[in-house]
């Protein structure tokens, strides 16, 4: 049975109701509140700011002298958030807490006071998120000028940020050397800017941009053309190699040779990917996360064969691989994945063309997250027999004793027997099923009865499960005080 709500959970829910009344919180501000930790203050603040129509006085509570992290992001798109930001920044200017982390993401208009009076006082700032804000080049330069301890900078979705500020960021030696994480997704920064970043920010571990692989490949080609054969190419510290959204990879090998310390490789929707290109990943020292999902294919298109593209990679990196995602690949051999990847914790199989069912798959004991998608919602192909994962292979994957999250979409080979018999562990927390035509409510009840940790159940468009049965489940959850959230909708 799902666990009941603990006393701590019940008390927490009560506190949420209390915290939503800002008048209560402000009027009861006794000295003990001054001892609240920064983390707890942050949690209270995040809870308070979700309530519409709040007076500005709640910022007086949360912006204390010992606050070192504050989240001023606007994920809920409050219309009055500009006013709140003005008040909060005014208090920060007066109290001058030693902030090491500040989040301003989704604040469409950051007030000038932040750049002119607050940033110059943030000498200890290490982490700043300006995601999806009006941040422009001159603002980036202001941060670089004053925040010499900066370690992480998120500029994603800042459409006014260009190569100019990025180049100056790299020229600033103090920040350039210390910077470890930089996110430039969906900015105006192009390949020239990225090349400047990776060549000058020598301590950079994480760089998010739409195609760092091609930028690194170009650097390698330029260096190789100017170096003698006996010269060793430089080594960069990047841990991520990314290619996103329909790009032709023209020098994956060069990127790998420059960044042999990379542990994460993401190749998403390339227009073409040859097996011999992919095999260059064997030159990496230790690969922990690999995602290779090809672009949408047609019946006449040549697809990447699993054995040709991945066999050498799994032989080299299978023992260290923890997260593995593959999509639109031909003849995926789940037996080889199970045999080589004994430490795998997350596996995602996305719209693969076909599966090879030779030797029986072994259960991956360490696996705790499984995502299987046979057909997307837009597909009109009713015959998925070639694309569906074989039942015995699916059963072996689900049977991991450490399984916590299962998401399966449009799998016709998933039936009541496999799901009810193969969920053997008691740690399952999330089960999401969509368009699984052979799963009944009886099976779901058996999974619920045997699960001690199940807290999230999602059932979408499963023909054998109807709204009346889900209503009974809702009633049982209410009566037994189960800590279980259920989300359901049908085809109709």
SS3 460: strand
User: Quick one: CA torsion of 315, 316, 321, 326, rounded to 10 degrees?
Assistant: -60
- Asked whether the CA dihedral 216, 217, 219, 223 is positive or negative, the reply is positive
Note the pLDDT of residue 93: 87
Question: In the prediction, which pLDDT does 26 show?
Answer: 47
Mean pLDDT over 312-331 rounds to 96
pTM of the model: 0.84
Alpha-carbon Rg for the chain, nearest whole angstrom, is 26
Whether 89 has a pLDDT exceeding 70, the answer reads yes
Angle, vertex CA 137, rays to CA 133 and CA 143, nearest 5 = 80
Counting DSSP H helices and E strands in the chain, the numbers are 19, 18
Q: 181 forms bridges with which residues in the sheet?
A: 152, 206
pLDDT category at 331 given cuts 50, 70, 90 is very high
> In which residue are the tokens 């330029």 written?
222
467-488 pLDDT per residue, tens: 999 999 999 988 888 888 999 9
pLDDT at residue 159 in the model: 95
First-to-last C-alpha distance (Å) of the chain:
30
* Mean pLDDT of the residues in the chain: 83
Check: CB of residue 227 under 8 Å from CB of residue 201: no
Distance in angstroms (rounded) separating the CA atoms of residues 40 and 209 = 34
Indicate the SS3 state at residue 394. helix
Q: Could you read off the pLDDT of 361-390 as tens digits, one per residue?
A: 688 999 999 999 997 655 555 555 568 899
Does 27 or 464 have the greater pLDDT score? 464
Could you tell me which residues come within 8 angstroms of residue 187 by beta carbon, excluding any fewer than 6 positions away?
Answer: 155, 156, 157, 158, 159, 161, 162
- Any idea which residue has 């219309």 for tokens? 79
pLDDT for res 167: 83
Give me 43's structure tokens: 């949690």
- Quickly tell me which residue has 């519409």 as its tokens: 52
Name the E strands within 255-354. 264-268, 289-293, 323-327, 332-333, 346-350
Per-residue exposure over 366-395, b if at least 16 CB sit within 10 Å of its own CB, e if not: ebbbbbbbbbeeeeeeeeeeebbbebebbb
* Phi–psi pair at 111, nearest 5 degrees: -60, 150
Other Cβ atoms closer than 10 A to 337: 24
Regarding predicted confidence, which is higher, 382 or 56?
Answer: 56
Pick from 224-233, 244-253, 279-288, 348-357 the range whose average pLDDT is largest: 279-288
Which of 248, 256, 258 lies closest to 279 in space, CA to CA? 256
Is the pLDDT score of 189 beyond 70?
A: yes
Query: Please, which pLDDT band fits residue 10 given cuts at 50, 70 and 90?
Result: low
**Cα–Cα distance between 262 and 23 in angstroms, integer?**
51
CB atoms < 10 A from the CB of 14, how many? 10
Q: Comparing 215-219, 242-246, 317-321, 425-429, which segment has the lowest mean pLDDT?
A: 242-246
- List residues bridging with 346 in a β-sheet: 323, 369
In the chain, the percentage of residues whose pLDDT exceeds 70 is 77
Tokens found for residue 238: 């990047």
Residue 28 exposed, middle or buried by CB count within 10 Å (0-12, 13-18, 19+): exposed
Question: Could you give the CA distance from residue 80 to residue 42 in angstroms, rounded to a whole number?
Answer: 20
How many Å is the maximal CA-CA distance in the chain? 76
């Amino acid at each position: 049975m799902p666990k009941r709500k603990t006393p701590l959970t019940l008390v927490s829910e009560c506190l949420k109701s209390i915290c939503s009344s800002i008048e209560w919180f402000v009027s009861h501000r006794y000295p003990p509140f001054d001892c609240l930790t920064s983390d707890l203050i942050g949690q209270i603040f995040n809870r308070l700011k979700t309530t519409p129509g709040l007076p500005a006085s709640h910022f007086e509570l949360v912006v204390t002298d010992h606050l070192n992290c504050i989240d001023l992001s606007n994920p809920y798109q409050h219309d009055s958030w500009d006013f709140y930001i003005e008040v909060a920044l005014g208090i920060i200017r007066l109290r001058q807490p030693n902030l090491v982390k500040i989040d301003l993401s989704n604040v469409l208009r950051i007030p000038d006071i932040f750049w002119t009076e607050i940033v110059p006082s943030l000498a200890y700032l290490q982490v700043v998120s300006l995601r999806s804000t009006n941040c422009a080049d001159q603002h980036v330069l202001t941060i670089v000028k004053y925040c010499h301890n900066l370690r992480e900078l998120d500029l994603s979705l800042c459409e006014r940020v260009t190569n100019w500020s990025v180049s100056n960021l790299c020229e600033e030696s103090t920040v350039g050397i210390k910077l470890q994480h930089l996110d430039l997704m969906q900015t105006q920064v192009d390949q020239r800017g990225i090349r400047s970043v990776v060549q000058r920010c020598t301590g950079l571990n994480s760089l998010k941009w739409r195609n760092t692989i091609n930028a690194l490949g170009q650097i390698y080609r330029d260096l190789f053309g100017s170096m003698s054969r006996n010269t060793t190419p430089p080594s960069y510290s990047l841990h991520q190699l990314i290619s996103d959204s329909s790009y032709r990879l023209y020098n994956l090998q060069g990127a790998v040779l420059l960044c042999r310390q990379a542990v994460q490789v993401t190749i998403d929707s390339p227009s073409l990917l040859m097996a011999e290109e992919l095999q260059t990943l064997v030159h990496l020292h230790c690969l922990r996360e690999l995602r290779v999902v090809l672009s949408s294919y047609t019946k006449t298109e040549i697809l990447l064969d699993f054995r040709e593209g991945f066999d050498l990679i799994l032989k080299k990196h299978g023992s260290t691989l923890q997260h593995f995602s593959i999509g639109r690949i031909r003849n995926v051999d789940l037996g080889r994945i199970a045999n080589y990847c004994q430490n795998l914790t997350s596996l995602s199989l996305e719209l693969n063309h076909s599966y090879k069912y030779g030797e029986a798959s072994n259960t991956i004991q360490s696996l705790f997250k499984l995502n299987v998608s046979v057909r997307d919602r837009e597909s009109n192909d009713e015959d998925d027999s070639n694309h569906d994962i074989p039942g015995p292979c699916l059963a072996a994957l689900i049977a991991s004793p450490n399984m916590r999250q299962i998401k399966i979409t449009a799998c016709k080979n998933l039936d009541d027997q496999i799901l009810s018999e193969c969920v053997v562990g008691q740690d399952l927390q999330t089960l999401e099923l969509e368009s699984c035509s052979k799963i009944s409510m009886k099976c779901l009840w058996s999974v619920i009865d045997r699960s001690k940790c199940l807290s999230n159940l999602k059932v979408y468009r499963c023909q054998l499960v109807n709204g009346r049965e889900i209503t009974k489940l809702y009633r049982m959850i209410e009566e037994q005080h189960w800590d279980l959230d259920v989300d359901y909708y049908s085809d109709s």
